[in-house]
């Protein structure tokens, strides 16, 4: 029997039967395994996708928040380095999930229509030379350089009025007396010296390489403010970033900061009375000097301070200390300054009229850039010094690396320029872009999650997120 079995087993029909069985079973098993595998993969993938999308969405939100951390910087950087089709890549927010943020400039708008602007440049001294050249921007008052020294007075206005000469009044007294020495920021912060608004009756000299920041507000100086050496000075909060994050940070943390800080609005206004003047002294050893004003913004409802809105430098005018009211010379007539709000003549004890008249040896604004240093002077607000001289001097061999821009309008006794001018030179009134609209796109590295925001940013750093949507 056994022999029969063994001899029968290898018959041709039985060969490979086990293989067939296995194949059939494998097919049956695959019907079970494949759907199960699919289910496991789907569940796993779904869980990961949910988790990652949350992370990616937060990363794109973070990108916009970081982009807006310094809106004034965004205003200038994205406003000048991008277009609607060519974006500026913004700094990465440095999170666990990487995200790329791009800024597109969508629109820009000027502060006011050009037709409603006051005259950009006015000189009050009879027969003074009107500015001219490619560097001049804006319109010149027709009375500039007139033989009649009183001619310009017939077309003035205390506020910005179309086709008039803007002659702003002085603000309420900056009452807090200050020493001429700035406050230090503590060691926790980067090196920085801080001034606070108030009344400065001693000369202020800024010459070291430690950056200096004037917090926003009104400063009254009766003695010269001198910028020299390697000074790096920012005046007021705005698109030019100071050495502290904000006015509030300076008020809170400056060592021995005054309890009455006097900070108002954004940007700052320098008011010069007595012998007060602004000097940029290029004769002191140094390699780089900068003085950057940020345009002053205050509420127009503030009757005490509104006259400083968009004004960077003012002089106190008149001769009330001598018993006269107006400054009256053969070639110069300037009405005495009045207080904003009340229109009353200034108290000569608190506000001393400027003694720096045209023709004298000391200009009220004296920018002297004769050596080879790098120098940047930027004054974007109005400069109203109708009984003073603005002098800008550059040597022939020293025009490179020099930037002087006074483009918020000028009312001055006279404007004296050296034959050689800074390489970048702009004087007059340029109708500036005050608000820009950006599209900020942030794309996470994973999961195709992105966010797009339309943001309006003003020059002074105020911003609004108009819309913000996510794709995921």
Site residues for other proteins per CB under 8 A: 8-9, 11, 13-14, 17-18, 21-22, 25-26, 29, 32-33, 36-37, 39-40, 43-44, 46-47, 50-51, 54-55, 58-59, 61-62, 64-66, 68-70, 73, 91-97, 188, 245-246, 248-249, 252-253, 465
Shortest separation between residue 218's beta carbon and other proteins, angstroms? 22
Shortest separation between residue 284's beta carbon and other proteins, angstroms? 28
Pick 285 or 465: Cβ nearer other proteins: 465
Shortest separation between residue 413's beta carbon and other proteins, angstroms? 41
Shortest separation between residue 410's beta carbon and other proteins, angstroms? 33
Q: Residues 6 or more apart from 387 whose CB is under 8 A from it?
A: 124, 315, 317, 327, 332, 334, 354, 356, 357, 358, 413
Pick 117 or 234: Cβ nearer other proteins: 234
Shortest separation between residue 457's beta carbon and other proteins, angstroms? 12
Shortest separation between residue 470's beta carbon and other proteins, angstroms? 13
Pick 62 or 357: Cβ nearer other proteins: 62
Pick 36 or 114: Cβ nearer other proteins: 36
Shortest separation between residue 2's beta carbon and other proteins, angstroms? 12
* 344-349, Cβ contacts within 8 angstroms, sequence gap of 24 or more: 345/318, 345/320, 346/170, 346/316, 346/318, 346/320, 347/173, 348/320, 348/321
Judge contact between 309 and 269, C-beta under 8 A.
no
Pick 122 or 290: Cβ nearer other proteins: 290
| DSSP string for residues in 104-130 | EEEEEEESS-GGGPPPSEEE-STTPPP
Pick 344 or 465: Cβ nearer other proteins: 465
Question: Which residue matches tokens 């550059």?
Answer: 394
Which residues of 52-188 form beta strands (DSSP E)?
88-89, 99-110, 121-123, 136-137, 156-157, 165-166, 177-178, 183-184
Measured CA to CA in angstroms, residue 361 lies from 149, 308, 366, 389, 469 at distances of 21, 28, 11, 10, 62
Buried b (16+ CB within 10 A) or exposed e, 72-109: bbbbbbbbeebeeeebbebeebeeebebebbbbbeeee
Return d(Cα 437, Cα 458) in angstroms, integer. Answer: 9
Shortest separation between residue 54's beta carbon and other proteins, angstroms? 6
Reference 341, options 298, 380, 381, 277; nearest CA is 298
Pick 25 or 114: Cβ nearer other proteins: 25
Return d(Cα 28, Cα 35) in angstroms, integer. Answer: 12
Pick 91 or 177: Cβ nearer other proteins: 91
Shortest separation between residue 90's beta carbon and other proteins, angstroms? 9
β-pairing, 99-110 vs 433-444, is antiparallel
Return d(Cα 250, Cα 183) in angstroms, integer. Answer: 9
Shortest separation between residue 247's beta carbon and other proteins, angstroms? 10
For the four alpha carbons of 64, 65, 67 and 72, in that order, the dihedral sign comes to positive
Pick 55 or 159: Cβ nearer other proteins: 55
Neighbours of 380 (CB within 10 A): 23
Pick 15 or 148: Cβ nearer other proteins: 15
């Amino acid at each position: 029997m056994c022999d029969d079995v063994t001899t029968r087993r290898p018959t041709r029909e039985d060969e490979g039967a086990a293989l067939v069985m296995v194949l059939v079973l494998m097919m049956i098993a695959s019907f079970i395994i494949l759907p199960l595998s699919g289910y496991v993969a789907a569940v796993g993938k779904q869980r990961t996708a949910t988790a990652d999308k949350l992370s990616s969405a937060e990363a794109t939100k973070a990108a916009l928040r970081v982009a807006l951390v310094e809106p004034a910087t965004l205003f200038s950087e994205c406003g000048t380095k991008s277009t609607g089709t060519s974006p500026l890549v913004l700094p990465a927010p440095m999170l666990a999930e990487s995200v790329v943020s791009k800024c597109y400039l969508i629109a820009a708008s000027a502060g006011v229509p050009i037709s409603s602007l006051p005259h950009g440049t006015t000189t009050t001294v009879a027969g003074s030379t009107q500015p001219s050249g490619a560097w001049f921007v804006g319109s010149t008052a027709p009375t500039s350089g007139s033989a009649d020294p009183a001619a310009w007075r017939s077309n003035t206005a205390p506020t910005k009025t179309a086709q008039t000469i803007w002659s702003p009044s002085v603000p309420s007294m900056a009452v807090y007396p200050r020493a001429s020495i700035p406050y230090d920021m503590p060691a926790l912060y980067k090196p920085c010296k801080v001034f606070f608004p108030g009344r400065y009756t001693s000369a202020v000299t800024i010459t070291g390489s430690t950056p200096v920041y004037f917090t926003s507000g009104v400063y009254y100086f009766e003695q010269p403010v001198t910028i020299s050496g390697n000074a790096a000075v920012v005046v007021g909060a705005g698109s030019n970033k100071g050495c502290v994050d904000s006015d509030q940070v300076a008020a809170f943390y400056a060592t021995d900061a005054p309890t009455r800080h006097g900070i108002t609005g954004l940007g700052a206004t320098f008011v010069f009375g007595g012998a007060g003047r602004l000097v940029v002294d290029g004769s002191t050893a140094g390699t780089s000097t900068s003085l950057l004003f940020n345009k002053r913004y205050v509420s127009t409802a503030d009757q005490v301070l509104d006259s400083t809105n968009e004004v960077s430098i003012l002089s106190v005018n008149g001769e009330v200390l001598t018993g006269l009211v107006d400054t009256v010379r053969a070639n110069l007539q300037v009405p005495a300054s009045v207080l904003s709000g009340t229109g009353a003549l200034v108290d000569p004890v608190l506000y001393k009229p400027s003694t720096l008249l045209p023709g004298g040896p000391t200009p009220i604004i004296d920018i002297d850039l004769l050596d080879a240093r790098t120098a940047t002077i930027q004054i974007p607000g109005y400069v109203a010094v109708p009984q003073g001289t603005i002098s800008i001097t550059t040597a022939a061999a020293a025009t490179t690396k020099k930037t002087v821009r006074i483009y918020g309008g000028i009312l001055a006794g006279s404007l004296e320029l050296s034959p050689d001018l800074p390489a970048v030179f702009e004087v007059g009134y340029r109708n500036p872009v005050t608000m820009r609209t950006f599209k900020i796109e942030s794309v996470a590295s994973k999961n195709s999650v992105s966010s797009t925001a339309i943001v309006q940013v003003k020059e002074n750093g105020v911003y609004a997120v108009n819309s913000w949507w996510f794709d995921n």
